[in-house]
A and B are shown apart, each in its own frame.
Chain A
Amino acid sequence: MSKRNKISNTITYVILILISIVWLFPFVCLILQSFRSYITESGGLVNYLLPKTFSLDSYKFLFSGDCQFFRWYGNTLIIAVFVAILQTIFVLMVSYALSRMRFKGRELLMRFWLVLGMFPGFLTMICLYFLLKQFGLTQAGAIPGLILIGFASSGMGYYVCKGYFDTIPKSLDEAARIDGANRFQVFTIMLIPLSKPIIIYTALVAFMAPWCDYIFASYIAFGYSDSYNVAVAMYRWVMTNDYQGYFTRFCAGGLLIAVPVTILFMCLQKYYVEGVTGGAVKG
């Protein structure tokens, strides 16, 4: 039996190591290629992995004034921070109302929002574009516009948070109310401190989304490079391909974007897992 166990464990290790290689391979490639020089070698796609000479050309380009990389970076950071804060507030508000209060039309509202969620998100893209344009929130004003789009309808994503609230015993609320607290106090003084994991989860997910937002960002900032976010800018770099080494610049830029976001995510991983698992089981 133990010999069989040993063999099966060895096989498992081999599989896990293979999996790890496959999953890490693209990242390793990305890092290696970002150190390729576009002056002495090629800055586009090549058929070899290790750069012939180690160079920081791509990074120098990003840090020099020749491109707006850090402006795009800042844009995305601003959007992400604001969306994370405002979306978390909205989600908490909606979750409390739906979890703790019973009012007329509650079921109807939940079902209505569920149905709304079945429409593809960017069906409404053109309409939103013109709406925002009316208020000057496109092109030059795309950053506030994107923040608005990011959080305005986020109340619909209350499921995970409400599920969490539902697990906090209602007897706690009642005890506080007997002591004379009103619902606002119950919400802010008691419930919110108890919900730290779910608040971090909500904020983390909201913070990550703008870094990948290509659809709306490309449409709303259309043709105005000052308002690009990193996803839009990097997508354009990749599509220019061989031209002047923009591919290796994309690798370098992508790395600079991925590292802080990944570190943040890894630090808060525990909360993410908690939120995702909780949400999945409740459905």
Chain B
Amino acid sequence: MSKENQPSGNKIGGFFKAIGSDLADIGTTFTQGNWMTKVSFLIMGFGPLLRKQFLRGIALLVTEIAFIYYMVSFGAGYLKDITTLGTQGRGFNPDGTVSYGDNSFFILLYSILSIIIIFAFIFVWRINVRQNKNAEKLLAEGKKLPTVKQDLLSLLDEHFDKTLLALPFMGVFLFIVLPIIFMICVAFTNYDAQHQAPAQLFTWVGFENFKNLFSIGSTGFGSTFLTVLLWTIVWAFFATFLNYFLGMVVAMLINKKGIKFKKLWRTILVMTIAVPQFVSLLYIGKMFAADGLVNGYLMKWGWIDQAIPFWTDPTIAKVLIIILNCWVGIPYIMLICTGLLMNIPADLYESARIDGANAFQMFRKITLPYMLFVTGPFLLTQFTGNLNNFNIIYLLSGGGPTSMKLTGGAGHTDLLVTWLYKLTLNNTDYKMAAVLGIMVFLVTAVISLVVYNILPSVKDEEGFQ
């Protein structure tokens, strides 16, 4: 993280400097290189092939052919429409058959893919140039070039990182990076229920959706967004810290000297982690339904006359969700704290006891600071995890109760992410879902950055050691 604290001007300046020297290097490679190198600038892998580095040469040549083939047959056709995202919608031919025109969705998706492929190709081309330069240098020094066998073996040794990371990297790229870039772009289009390709095309609308998100009017998302955002943060705060403290207390109770069956207590709590959440949470959610078990017994015992509106009253629903979340979260915290609590040096407590401290003072002065110090980063990940805690909300309350006051199908216990899900699935309002996703990212990123930089364990790594 220390690098991030450098003044950003340096970073940008350094970036341009690096590009500058890179370009200069390409230039000198061309002017000083022999004819094989020069041809390689146009036909990749030409140099390595003539120098008998067949593996590298073929790999580079195949890359170039594949790239050209992809761009000509596929990429360019989509890329040319990127500014409009298609002009020709679905229509009907004179004979009544359907004629398919452009499809905005694929134009956008494949254009992004093509742009990334172009950058990747430039990167490979740069490697190609560097390869030639290095080969010439080695030959000039009278050394031998690595053989095909050596090249292959190096993939299991000094270049093993490339072998290992290739597939995972591709996976992350295809399933995370590409879709995220796509969705960020969607946030600037009017892709929604009325503009579903291929029947109706969608197109760029600039910052229209962001304006909509912040506009406080009858049609705007502004007030709903603020309500949901506020509840998301309140929820994440309580879900994290209530669980944390209660979990720690439970761990201390179980760890207490003289308490027997420690393993039994722990196992009972761990059951909650083991049972798939959709079974336990769906069941618990139904227990609190208007005609559910809890209301049933309370009425039978005559404690209440009417069913408590657990899931239909916004305030009760919110409180109930936070309480029920303890049922899910405490065992997890308890597990983590159990090990850590045993790490606290016993002599700290001993000397505190001699000084006449009572149990609560010892907790406040020794246990709590130690635990907060050690688990600081963990608390942060818990907090950001809770901001996006889909399962609890969706399985317990489904985001309800819904209200006329909230737009976009949002309910009172909806988090930003569950609202995003509903916008996608129920309203097919993809553009607003994308905007919301960006907001979730911003909230998470800002909180993470701010908190990370004030954490004591980050500032002062040596403390408590």
Contacts and interface: CB of A to CB of B under 8 A. Distances in A.
A101 B256 CA distance: 44
Given A12-B253, A97-B161, A26 B259 contact: no
Given A48-B296, A155-B169, A235-B282, A124 B183 contact: yes
B437 A273 contact: no
A278 to B, nearest CB: 9
B374 A131 contact: no
A280 B336 contact: yes
A262 B394 CA distance: 22
A126 B430 contact: yes
B201 interface: no
A219 B289 CA distance: 26
B172 A238 contact: no
Contact of A212 (B277, B424, B430): B277
B441 interface: yes
B363 interface: no
Given A183-B160, A261-B275, A116 B182 contact: no
A234 to B, nearest CB: 6
Given A97-B161, A120-B437, A26 B280 contact: yes
A155 B168 contact: yes
Given A90-B168, A184-B160, A266-B274, A254 B279 contact: yes
B287 interface: yes
Contact of A19 (B269, B283, B391): B269
A246 to B, nearest CB: 12
Given A30-B279, A211-B276, A261-B274, A123 B157 contact: no
Contacts of A175: none
Interface in B438-465: 440-441, 444-445, 448, 457
B171 A124 contact: no
A45 interface: yes
A93 interface: yes
A29 B153 contact: no
Interface string B362-403: 000000000000111110110010001011001100000000
B174 interface: yes
A36 B177 CA distance: 49
Interface in B174-191: 174-180, 182-183
Contacts of B268: 19-20, 23-24
Nearest to A282: B377
A152 B169 CA distance: 9
Interface string B193-231: 000000000000000000000000000000000000000
Contact of B160 (A101, A120, A251, A280): A101
Interface string A180-202: 00111001000000000000000
A265 interface: yes
A212 to B, nearest CB: 5
Contacts of B175: 124, 128, 148-149, 152-153
Contacts of A272: 273
Specify the main secondary structure of chain A where it touches its partner: helix
Given A13-B259, A45-B291, A97-B165, A151 B171 contact: yes
A153 B384 contact: no
A16 interface: yes
Interface in A85-129: 90, 93-94, 96-97, 101, 103, 106-107, 109, 113, 115-116, 118-128
A12 B259 contact: yes
A16 B264 CA distance: 10
A13 B273 CA distance: 23
A281 B340 contact: yes
A154 interface: yes
Given A280-B336, A283-B376, A118 B270 contact: no
Contacts of A16: 253-254, 259, 265
A113 B274 CA distance: 29
B172 A277 contact: no
Contacts of B384: 118
A219 to B, nearest CB: 7
Nearest to A116: B176
A62 interface: no
A258 B109 contact: no
A15 interface: yes
A238 B282 contact: yes
B241 to A, nearest CB: 16
A197 B380 CA distance: 26
Interface string B292-313: 1101110110000000000000
B179 A131 contact: yes
A22 interface: yes
A236 to B, nearest CB: 11
Interface in B327-382: 327, 331-332, 335-336, 339-340, 374-378, 380-381
B286 interface: yes
B284 interface: yes
B425 interface: yes
B388 to A, nearest CB: 5
Contacts of B265: 16, 19-20
B378 A9 contact: no
A222 to B, nearest CB: 9
B273 A265 contact: yes
B267 interface: yes
Nearest to A261: B276
B239 interface: no
B243 to A, nearest CB: 13
10 contacts: A26-B283, A93-B164, A101-B161, A182-B157, A258-B274, A262-B271, A262-B274, A265-B270, A265-B274, A266-B267
- The 5 A-B residue pairs with the shortest CB-CB distance, nearest first, are A47-B296, A283-B377, A155-B168, A124-B179, A123-B437
